[in-house]
A = this chain, B = another copy of it.
């Protein structure tokens, strides 16, 4: 069974930024030669996530406003006693999820018509990684 591993690298301009990675993952799947199987796409940092949803700027804005309401920055989080200031980023990424498993059928990602894969950065402006591991036949 072929198993193929690749890493995506990020260094976002803004502290919070959602980056569409569907095409990057699709390219890794194609290079893997796997025709039928699954691809794990997982953030390797604990202040960012990976999720599947719509590629529509208005909705991305809605997600960000909503996350700020559910997990606000600037509260007196106990985590900040360590010198960190990013507790809200840990919470926000928890809501969005930190990984997805993508089905592969006939050599391509088997996604619904509107499914797009995103990297969600909540504490960026530095180097981050996502691991992509493809398994199948």
Contact = CB atoms under 8 A, between A and B. Distances in A.
Interface of A: 1, 3, 5, 36-38, 40, 42-46, 51-54, 56, 58-59, 61-63, 66, 70-71, 77-82, 87, 90-91, 94-101, 103, 105, 110-112, 114-115, 129, 131, 133, 135-137
Contact of A100 (B3, B70, B91, B99): B99
Contacts of A97: 94, 97
A58 B79 contact: yes
A124 to B, nearest CB: 15
Given A46-B112, A98-B52, A3 B40 contact: no
25 contacts: A1-B137, A3-B36, A5-B36, A5-B103, A40-B103, A44-B115, A45-B112, A45-B114, A46-B112, A46-B115, A53-B90, A54-B90, A56-B79, A58-B79, A58-B81, A61-B79, A62-B77, A62-B78, A62-B90, A63-B90, A66-B91, A94-B95, A94-B96, A99-B101, A135-B136
